[in-house]
């Protein structure tokens, strides 16, 4: 075998994606608010793009037809009287108003709300604590999760607080070793934290959370407190008969106590969550007009772009621009043309996809989710002659306002189950039917998964018992044994 450099020719095929194709895919993927921001950035960066004002043509027409001679004379002036404009105080001959009467408009802006941590810190400041206790309390608060539960063990909290003490001693170059926190101090501080509002905060598990809330309600001598404290596992498993025998009670009475416990808050910290409201602006609107469902794009807030006429005239003067200037103008002009075409392509693609969905899911719009048909991205892609990935980008993070409410486009896509008629039933429709069956069942004799399978079989839907169990879990519906009422 000879080593060395060799030169040879070969043919290969390579797939290279144009950068503009990447941009086009990004435009398809963007929700409405993101697209608005993107177009504003394009306007700032490309002088060939300008906003198309919808009232421009109307104003021009009014100027030609209805202007007075004086207005036409002013319009024909090449240069306004700058001296007059600068000296004009805007009063039109009327006495100037008292400036104290002027009201400045301040645009309302969202204010950051306090979260659970802030709420707990405010309460701790009102307590009569030593600086040493305040440091330990801060370590506890820092380990309380958003739902109100303590996310660390007492040993971990003591270790973290002691580490802070040692670091502070090193920074301040103290000669005396600081007194470290003990587990007993942590247990005492935990009792202080657990007395803060909201009741149940600082609990280490659900059992302790319920006990703290019952203590706050002065119900420590009730059956509910005893059940949670002594038989919480049986209580969670809905073993009413076993609990009745154990405590000498009627099972129905135990179930009634469990119903009262269900009214307590299992995640007390969430009522002080700082999570902001998520506002959704639909990209599409479906309306029923004269018995037909029409699809509209909700892009009224989207900037309308066009090629600047001024820069178009500059680009036509080819003698004036050579070399780098010519290259810059051609690049910006082509980019401006391309983005206008890409936006229009996005609009047409979204309309095609939504129109097909409306045609396919007409029964859903008329009768409800139980009549939703199975639909895949490939089916839509085949009909509108586009790639499946393109349809996926169009439907991702997009919302449509319909007579059935505000829905994500992904809502209309789901797998299907076979029926005896040869047509498929949507998985989402099956879930809706399962929920309806459970809502209407006899609570003393709830439907088992097998009985639900048999009911679907009578309707001509073939479904396995494990599929029913899976859908029931996704709907947060308990098994029949735990739904039974005494």
For 340-385, write each residue's pLDDT tens digit. Answer: 888 888 888 889 999 999 998 898 898 888 888 888 888 888 888 8
pLDDT of residue 315: 66
Average pLDDT, the chain: 78
Quote the CA–CA distance of 165 and 167 in Å, as a whole number.
Answer: 6
Read off the DSSP letter of residue 343: H
172-181 contacts at long range (C-beta below 8 A, 24 or more positions apart) = 181/136
Reduced to 3 states, what is the DSSP secondary structure of residue 294? strand
HEC string for 35-70: HHHHHHHHHHHCCCEEECCCCHHHHHHHHHHHCCHH
pLDDT tops 70 at residue 261: yes
Return the percentage of the chain with pLDDT > 90, whole number.
20
Nearest CA among 143, 111, 148, 149 for reference residue 271: 148
**Are the CB atoms for 281 and 408 separated by under 8 Å?**
no
**Residue 198 confidence (pLDDT) above 80:** yes
Q: Which pair of structure tokens corresponds to residue 318?
A: 């080819």
415 vs 390, higher pLDDT? 390
Least confidently predicted of 6-15, 33-42, 140-149, 302-311: 6-15
Find out whether 123 and 193 touch, Cβ atoms under 8 Å: no
3-class SS of residue 17: coil
For the ranges 45-49, 53-57, 358-362, the maximum mean pLDDT occurs at 358-362
Percent share of the chain, pLDDT over 70: 76
Nearest CA among 400, 398, 376, 405 for reference residue 388? 376
User: Roughly what angle, to the nearest 10 degrees, separates helices 183-193 and 154-172?
Assistant: 110
Q: Is the pLDDT of residue 43 over 60?
A: yes
Helix axes 131-142, 154-172, angle to 10 degrees: 130
Per-residue pLDDT at 324:
66
Between residues 312 and 461, which one has the greater pLDDT?
A: 461
Phi-psi region of 15 (alpha: psi -120 to 50; beta: other; left: phi over 0): beta
Enter the pTM of the model.
0.61
pLDDT: which is higher, 312 or 233: 233
251-261 and 240-247 helices, crossing angle to 10°: 110
How confident is the model over 472-482, as pLDDT tens digits?
888 888 888 88
Confidence tier at 323 by pLDDT (50, 70, 90): low
Cβ proximity of 381 and 433 under 8 Å: no
Backbone conformation region of residue 142, classed left if phi is above 0, alpha if psi is from -120 to 50, else beta: alpha
Residue 462 pLDDT exceeds 80: yes
Start-to-end Cα distance in the chain:
87
What pLDDT is attached to residue 83? 42
- Residue 405: strand pairing partners: 402
- Give the span between the Cα atoms of 358 and 133, in whole angstroms: 63
Rounded to 5 degrees, φ, ψ at 63 are -65, -35
Q: What residues have CB less than 8 Å from 471, skipping those under 6 apart?
A: 427, 430, 431, 434
CA 307 to chain centre: 35
Confidence of residue 175 (pLDDT cuts 50, 70, 90): low
* CA–CA gap between residue 48 and residue 40 (Å, rounded): 13
Better pLDDT: 69 or 255: 255
Region 235-257: mean pLDDT is 89
Report how far residue 431's alpha carbon sits from residue 419's, in angstroms, rounded to the nearest whole number: 15
Judged against a pLDDT cut of 90, whether residue 211 lies above it is answered with yes
Cα dihedral across residues 13, 16, 17, 20: positive or negative = negative
Q: For the ranges 241-255, 256-270, 415-429, 467-481, which has the lowest average pLDDT?
A: 415-429
Tell me if residue 183 falls in helix, strand or coil. Answer: helix
**What's the mean pLDDT in 426-452?**
85
Going by pLDDT thresholds of 50, 70 and 90, the confidence category of residue 207 is very high
Q: Which residues pair with 292 in a beta bridge?
A: 289
What is the average per-residue pLDDT within 268-280? Answer: 74
What is the three-class DSSP state of 265? coil
If pLDDT is split at 50, 70 and 90, which confidence band does 210 have? very high
Q: What is the CA radius of gyration of the chain?
A: 35
What's the average model confidence in pLDDT over 447-456?
Answer: 87
- Residue 317: its pLDDT value, please? 65
Residues 434, 448: Cα–Cα separation, whole Å:
11
């Amino acid at each position: 075998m000879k080593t060395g450099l060799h030169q040879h020719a070969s043919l290969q095929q390579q797939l290279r994606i144009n950068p503009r194709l990447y941009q086009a895919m990004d435009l398809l993927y963007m929700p409405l608010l993101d697209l608005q921001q993107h177009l504003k950035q394009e306007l700032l960066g490309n002088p060939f793009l300008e906003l198309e004002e919808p009232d421009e043509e109307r104003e021009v027409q009014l100027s030609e037809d209805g202007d007075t001679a004086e207005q036409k004379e002013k319009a024909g002036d090449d240069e306004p009287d700058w001296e007059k404009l600068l000296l004009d105080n805007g009063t039109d001959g009327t006495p100037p108003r008292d400036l104290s009467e002027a009201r400045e408009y301040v645009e309302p802006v969202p204010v950051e709300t306090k979260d659970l941590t802030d709420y707990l810190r405010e309460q701790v400041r009102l307590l009569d604590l030593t600086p040493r206790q305040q440091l330990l309390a801060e370590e506890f608060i820092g380990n309380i999760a958003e739902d109100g539960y303590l996310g660390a063990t007492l040993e971990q909290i003591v270790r973290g607080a002691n580490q802070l003490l040692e670091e502070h001693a090193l920074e301040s170059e103290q000669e005396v070793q600081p007194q470290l926190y003990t587990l007993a101090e942590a247990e005492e501080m935990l009792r202080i934290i657990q007395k803060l509002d909201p009741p149940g905060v600082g609990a280490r598990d659900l059992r302790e959370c319920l006990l703290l809330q019952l203590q706050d309600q002065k119900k420590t001598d009730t059956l509910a407190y005893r059940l949670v404290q002594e038989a919480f596992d049986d209580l969670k498993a809905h073993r009413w008969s076993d609990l009745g025998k154990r405590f000498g009670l009627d099972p129905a009475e135990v179930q009634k106590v469990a119903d009262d416990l269900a009214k307590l808050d299992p995640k007390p910290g969430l009522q002080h969550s700082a999570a902001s409201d998520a506002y959704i602006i639909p990209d599409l609107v479906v309306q029923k007009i004269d018995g037909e469902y029409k699809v509209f794009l909700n892009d009224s807030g989207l900037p309308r772009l066009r090629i600047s006429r001024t820069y178009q005239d500059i680009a036509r003067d080819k003698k004036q621009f050579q070399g780098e200037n010519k290259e810059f103008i051609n690049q910006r002009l082509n980019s401006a043309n391309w983005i206008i075409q890409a936006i229009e392509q996005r609009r047409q693609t979204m309309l095609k996809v939504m129109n097909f969905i409306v045609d396919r899911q007409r029964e859903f719009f008329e009768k409800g989710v139980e009549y939703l048909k199975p639909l895949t991205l490939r089916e839509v892609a085949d009909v509108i002659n586009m790639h499946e990935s393109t349809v996926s980008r169009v439907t991702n993070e997009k919302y449509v306002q319909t007579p059935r409410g505000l829905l994500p486009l992904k809502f209309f896509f789901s797998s299907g189950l076979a029926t005896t008629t040869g047509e498929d039933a949507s998985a989402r429709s099956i879930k809706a039917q399962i929920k309806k069956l459970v809502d209407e069942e006899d609570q003393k004799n709830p439907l088992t998964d097998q009985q639900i399978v048999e009911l679907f079989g009578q309707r001509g839907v073939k479904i396995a018992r494990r599929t029913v169990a899976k859908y029931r879990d996704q709907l947060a519906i308990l098994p029949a044994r735990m739904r039974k009422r005494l």
